[in-house]
Amino acid sequence: MYAYYVAARWFGLAMDVIFLVFLTIVSTTELYSVTDSSTAVIASVAILYSFQSAIEISGTTRCVVDVQAQMTSGERILAYTEIKPEKGHEINEQPPKDWPEAGKIEFKNVSLRYYENGPKALKDLSFHINPSEKIGVAGRTGAGKSSLVAALMRIGETEGDIIVDNVNIEYLNLQSTRQRISVISQSPDLFSGSIRENLNPTGGINDSEIWNVLDQMQLSFLVRSLPGKLDHLCTGGGTNFSIGQRQLFRLARVLLKENKIIIFDEATGKVDKKTAEQIQNVIHDVLKDCTVIIISHRMTTIQRCEKIMVLEQGSIVEFDKQHVLLNRQKGFLSELVRIANEGKMY
Ligand SMILES: Nc1ncnc2c1ncn2[C@@H]1O[C@H](COP(=O)(O)OP(=O)(O)OP(=O)(O)O)[C@@H](O)[C@H]1O
Ligand SMILES: [Mg+2]
């Protein structure tokens, strides 16, 4: 809207300048052409009409431009109605009530494209993750780490089978499946609403449970100090809290949801060392019965994981216990660690 008003102001000013020049030329010409009373009348009529036309033309042009600009909104809405809905919305089959109960994940020849006929972001991945395992995912930027999350959340076009606790997710309702897997990403935005609504968006969880989780996240002191406590409003996506606090609130929401599969995609990338350690402790203590996938550039974030998966150009190049991979002289993980130790980015 701001850009629209700026453009309208600029257009109005430009029109005024053009007509000012036009009227100056007409008036000066007419002034010099007056010789007697009859030419004076013609000159004054000409100047009068020039004024009138300037006002009319400027008004009409502004109206045409305004209609065109307003119609763009209609055009956009029409374009949105033609967007193809994501595959899976139409499926009525709901996942079983407590699914996933164990948190076992199997990928069988899974490939992912973000759009039809686009390049493959994941290429023929096959692996399995056991219930309650903590898996670290490493790889250079663009290797396909976040695409792994996209495949699990059924974003884009996937081929192959993704089986969670013996159920192929392709045949389940998309929204319900997504709700059963928690993802914490790097940019921790909160909803505009109270802290209670943020932690418990669907309702049904009582305040004592919320305070318990806030205690675990060491957030209860902060929340108790706020004027409205759990009713305190999070404004503008949570900008009245620091990034670290927002990330802890997000983690608190995930704990309250009690999903069995939780994915951290660079979740500690923007928080300080102490908060990162706190999140690590939650992963390995509070979430010990959950299957956790931790995607990170920092080795310190994934070093406590049971197994590490290394991705390169959409393929798995290594997937084993950390000490096995680090003992490989020319292994991919050893190389990533070496580059990181040298202080270079990867
Ligand atoms: N929304 C998208 N649309 C089209 N292509 C995408 C999209 N997201 C990612 N890609 C492509 O998929 C490939 C893998 O990207 P991905 O985001 O999975 O990498 P990553 O390993 O998570 O990188 P980073 O460490 O930078 O987060 C890249 O080539 C990228 O260009
Ligand atoms: Mg990523």
Q: How confident is the model at residue 167 (pLDDT cuts 50, 70, 90)?
A: very high
Do 327 and 263 belong to one domain?
yes
Q: What are 283-303's pLDDT values in tens digits? A: 988 899 999 999 988 888 898
- At residue 101, the pLDDT reads 92
Do 290 and 247 belong to one domain?
yes
Do 14 and 157 belong to one domain?
no
Kindly give the number of the ligand 1 atom that is closest to the alpha carbon of 266: 27
Do 184 and 275 belong to one domain?
yes
Do 10 and 73 belong to one domain?
yes
Type of residue found at 227: P
In a domain? residue 96: no
Contact between 308 and 136 under an 8 Å Cβ cutoff? The reply is yes
Q: What are 106-151's pLDDT values in tens digits? A: 999 999 999 989 999 999 999 999 999 999 999 999 999 999 999 9
Whose alpha carbon is nearest atom 25 of ligand 1?
A: 141
Q: Which ligand is nearest to the CA of 115?
A: 1
Q: How confident is the model at residue 343 (pLDDT cuts 50, 70, 90)?
A: low
Asked if pLDDT for residue 346 goes beyond 70, the answer is: no
| 144 CB near ligand 1 (under 6 Å) | yes
Asked if pLDDT for residue 345 goes beyond 80, the answer is: no
Q: What are 179-224's pLDDT values in tens digits? A: 999 999 887 788 888 999 999 888 888 899 999 999 988 898 999 9
Q: Which ligand is nearest to the CA of 142?
A: 1
pTM, two decimals, is: 0.80
Q: What is the mean pLDDT of residues 251-268?
A: 92
CATH of the domain at 262: 3.40.50.300
Q: What is the mean pLDDT of residues 252-261?
A: 92
**Using CA atoms, how far apart are residues 153 and 165, in angstroms rounded to an integer?**
15
Whose alpha carbon is nearest atom 27 of ligand 1?
A: 141
Cα radius of gyration (the chain): 31
Q: For the chain, how many structural domains are there in total?
A: 2
Q: Which ligand is nearest to the CA of 147?
A: 1
| 140 CB near ligand 1 (under 6 Å) | no
Cis ω for the linkage preceding 201 (within 30 of 0): no
- At residue 344, the pLDDT reads 55
244 C-alpha to ligand 2 centroid (Å)? 19
The CA-based dihedral angle spanning residues 11, 17, 18, 20, taken in that order and rounded to the nearest 10 degrees: 140
For the ranges 27-41, 82-96, 174-188, the lowest mean pLDDT is seen at 27-41
Do 73 and 182 belong to one domain?
no
Q: What are 36-78's pLDDT values in tens digits? A: 888 888 888 888 898 898 889 888 988 998 898 889 889 999 9
| 136 CB near ligand 1 (under 6 Å) | no
Asked if pLDDT for residue 342 goes beyond 90, the answer is: no
Domain limits for position 137 = 105-190+241-343
Helix (H) or strand (E) holding 94: none
Do 336 and 266 belong to one domain?
yes
In a domain? residue 134: yes
Positive or negative torsion for Cα 318, 319, 320, 326: positive
**Using CA atoms, how far apart are residues 116 and 21, in angstroms rounded to an integer?**
55
**Using CA atoms, how far apart are residues 292 and 189, in angstroms rounded to an integer?**
21
Do 274 and 173 belong to one domain?
yes
The three-point CA angle 100-106-107 to 5° equals 130
- In the numeric block, which tokens belong to residue 274? 């102490």
In a domain? residue 224: no
335 C-alpha to ligand 2 centroid (Å)? 19
